[in-house]
A and B are shown apart, each in its own frame.
Chain A
């Protein structure tokens, strides 16, 4: 069965890669990033696709500075990232050929139930950056769509079916919206991005909380297209007129998709900009000891409404000293010098306090 899985994965990857190459002009889309050859030490991690562009960039830059250590990151989705972290490798034996991984990554952190399964090596969750989940759409001729909270909920619950719906027209009086079916594009795989947007909807709408609910994988209404990975959503929106999908900012920007201006809790309309994202994340309540902070519906007039942190999942103990030091150095670099790079790429740099707390966590790893 493993070989069958591998075969199917290869087929799907080939298809997805072909599509991506065709529509992003040959951007790297391989699922696994690799840098620095000739190094003896290879540090591997896997998980969320949401921060993958950033991690790839960091690996590029940091890898070039540190000969002798190679980093590899596979974007397999948050759900699978957690599963791989708990198993210490890919249980299915595909990613990295089943080799052991040194860290995981997730946009939904780990649940208490997940933490119970970690065992004696212990787990540490370190937020590396924040991000905005944007709603990118494909409506020829429409560049600056504005959506109210009700409209977002209506679109993704399947309640609003046409772009001419009055709940959309109400916030876009100047736009000539086409009479076209709305096709929501959602994630099929277990995803932290899904977790972030469904948490927002569940927080903002009791009906959503009791209905579809919040989670890494939920049952979306019938008419929505369900595809794998952030890349997949972006690509599908790109080819679907009338499509609207949620994805991390960078993926929409890469394909040149327009992103909607959204209404936040205070009732103001904000565009997905670095400042708005920081305002959103900055509205976090008190940071708990394990650094699991969620901001499902940030207050504040400037705040972008759908934001979240993304975490690295690390073990509390690394028996191999060389490996431990290399990994810790790299993460500390990401927490400090890596932050301006994150900002350049449309991610939200960590607030100063958070960096301090995160460093303390990393320092405590043995």
Chain B
């Protein structure tokens, strides 16, 4: 009869033993703290919703759904509507997502798919992540004094020559949608890039080897194997980036132009919910504050919908491309 090699370790007075009372105690204390922390986060969200809802309630009952599609913000006549702000928020964020997303994913591919040496990749990654550390006021100033003068001639050329196209329907006077979206794209770039890099890193090296083994070229491997496999992580990056763009305040308050209008033109001034809140809140009277609280609630709801939708798409891709259930 063959000897069981594990027999001896098991029978001897070994290091395995049932947990002692003290260890059980530590364990349950730690578990309690973890539960408490998770609970506090949920409570915090509820508290924010409660507080916002309480203060927005008068405005909600007063303006109802009309608040969503109203286009005037007149403190004197107490008529409030945030459609231009909703439009500006979504428009600027989508543009930023488009630009920041493409560049962020491109950077992630560049840094993870053996285009440059590992050490150099680390340096690049650090530089991209440094972008996240720049305060948004600085982005705003940079946008006003550097970016706008640079893109103004381009915008004016586009308007003069392609003015019939709705996106170039006006000239760029200064603060407007285009500079705001560009700066926003740079601001979400580190988020998108860093999380996408992690998504690519998570793919086992074997997958790439298998792809090469089947005779793919480098680009076929990247586009047909690596990108779909990393897609759920990349989507998470995009959702996070979009959420950041929706809520960004200071840089946009300085760059978007604070104009209460709905325009398709990329160069027209617009407004966003967050920048409306920032610029009106400090000066608002009692009635306007209620309307602003309602606007904050609208912003919260939009962010929530975006996150849920993002999660749904992400799960779909996990099933489709990563073969998990």
Interface residues of A (CB under 8 A from B): 1, 5, 8-9, 11-12, 14-15, 18-19, 22, 77, 79-80, 83, 94, 138, 180-181, 183, 188-190, 213, 215, 217-220, 222-228, 236, 239-243
Which of B254, B258, B261 lies in contact with A188, CB distance below 8 A? Answer: B258
B107 within 8 A of A: no
Q: Give the complex CA separation of A215 and B283 in angstroms.
A: 16
Contact A15 B253 (CB under 8 A): yes
**Known A181-B170, A183-B173, A225-B259: A12·B148 in contact at CB below 8 Å:** no
Q: What residues on B are CB-neighbors of A11 within 8 Å?
A: 249-250, 278
Q: Give the complex CA separation of A225 and B256 in angstroms.
A: 9
Which of A79, A219, A227, A240 lies in contact with B73, CB distance below 8 A? Answer: A219
Q: Give the complex CA separation of A222 and B265 in angstroms.
A: 14
Binds A, one of B10-18, B119-127, B136-144, B214-222: B136-144
Contact A239 B261 (CB under 8 A): no
Nearest A residue to B170 via CB reads: A181
Q: What residues on A are CB-neighbors of B71 within 8 Å?
A: 222
Contact A189 B283 (CB under 8 A): yes
Q: List 5 A-B contacts (CB under 8 A).
A: A180-B171, A190-B283, A222-B259, A226-B279, A239-B174
Contact A18 B279 (CB under 8 A): no
Contact B253 A183 (CB under 8 A): no
Which of B76, B261, B269, B278 lies in contact with A218, CB distance below 8 A? Answer: B76
Contact A15 B75 (CB under 8 A): no
Q: Give the complex CA separation of A280 and B254 in angstroms.
A: 36
Q: What residues on B are CB-neighbors of A77 within 8 Å?
A: 283
Contact A219 B259 (CB under 8 A): no
B8 within 8 A of A: no
Q: What residues on A are CB-neighbors of B285 within 8 Å?
A: 79, 83, 190
Contact A222 B260 (CB under 8 A): yes
Q: Give the complex CA separation of A213 and B74 in angstroms.
A: 12
B72 within 8 A of A: yes
Q: What residues on A are CB-neighbors of B269 within 8 Å?
A: 183, 223, 225
Q: What residues on B are CB-neighbors of A8 within 8 Å?
A: 277-278, 281-282
* Smallest CB separation, A52 vs chain B (Å): 15
B244 within 8 A of A: no
* Smallest CB separation, B238 vs chain A (Å): 27
Contact A222 B261 (CB under 8 A): yes
Which of A14, A79, A189, A225 lies in contact with B137, CB distance below 8 A? Answer: A14
Nearest A residue to B292 via CB reads: A8
Contact B258 A227 (CB under 8 A): yes
B257 within 8 A of A: yes
B175 within 8 A of A: yes
* Smallest CB separation, A15 vs chain B (Å): 5
Q: What residues on A are CB-neighbors of B282 within 8 Å?
A: 5, 8-9, 12, 94, 228
* Smallest CB separation, A193 vs chain B (Å): 14
Which of A1, A19, A219, A224 lies in contact with B72, CB distance below 8 A? Answer: A219
Contact B140 A226 (CB under 8 A): no
B28 within 8 A of A: no
* Smallest CB separation, A171 vs chain B (Å): 22
* Smallest CB separation, B318 vs chain A (Å): 38
Which of B76, B148, B175, B259 lies in contact with A224, CB distance below 8 A? Answer: B259
Q: Give the complex CA separation of A292 and B71 in angstroms.
A: 36
B6 within 8 A of A: no
**Known A11-B250, A224-B259, A239-B175: A219·B141 in contact at CB below 8 Å:** no
Q: Give the complex CA separation of A83 and B283 in angstroms.
A: 11
Q: What residues on B are CB-neighbors of A224 within 8 Å?
A: 259
**Per-residue interface assignment for chain B, residues 67 to 79, with 1 indicating a CB less than 8 Å from any chain A CB and 0 otherwise:** 0000111111101
**Per-residue interface assignment for chain B, residues 248 to 282, with 1 indicating a CB less than 8 Å from any chain A CB and 0 otherwise:** 01100110011111100000110000000111111
B55 within 8 A of A: yes
Question: Chain B CB within 10 Å — which of A8, A22, A242 has the most?
Answer: A8
Contact A223 B268 (CB under 8 A): yes
* Smallest CB separation, A90 vs chain B (Å): 11
B35 within 8 A of A: no
Q: What residues on B are CB-neighbors of A242 within 8 Å?
A: 171, 173-174
Contact B254 A19 (CB under 8 A): yes
B145 within 8 A of A: yes
Q: Give the complex CA separation of A18 and B251 in angstroms.
A: 12
Q: Give the complex CA separation of A163 and B278 in angstroms.
A: 31
Q: Give the complex CA separation of A188 and B74 in angstroms.
A: 10
Which of B173, B175, B254 lies in contact with A15, CB distance below 8 A? Answer: B254
B208 within 8 A of A: no
Q: What residues on A are CB-neighbors of B259 within 8 Å?
A: 183, 222-226
Nearest B residue to A1 via CB reads: B55
Q: What residues on B are CB-neighbors of A239 within 8 Å?
A: 144-145, 148, 174-175
**Known A222-B259, A236-B175, A243-B174: A22·B145 in contact at CB below 8 Å:** yes
Q: Give the complex CA separation of A189 and B278 in angstroms.
A: 12
**Known A239-B148, A240-B175: A223·B258 in contact at CB below 8 Å:** no
**Known A222-B261, A225-B258, A225-B259: A5·B283 in contact at CB below 8 Å:** no
* Smallest CB separation, A361 vs chain B (Å): 29
Q: Give the complex CA separation of A219 and B72 in angstroms.
A: 8
Nearest B residue to A7 via CB reads: B281
Q: Give the complex CA separation of A224 and B74 in angstroms.
A: 14
Which of A1, A19, A241 lies in contact with B144, CB distance below 8 A? Answer: A19
* Smallest CB separation, A87 vs chain B (Å): 12
Which of A5, A213, A217, A243 lies in contact with B281, CB distance below 8 A? Answer: A5
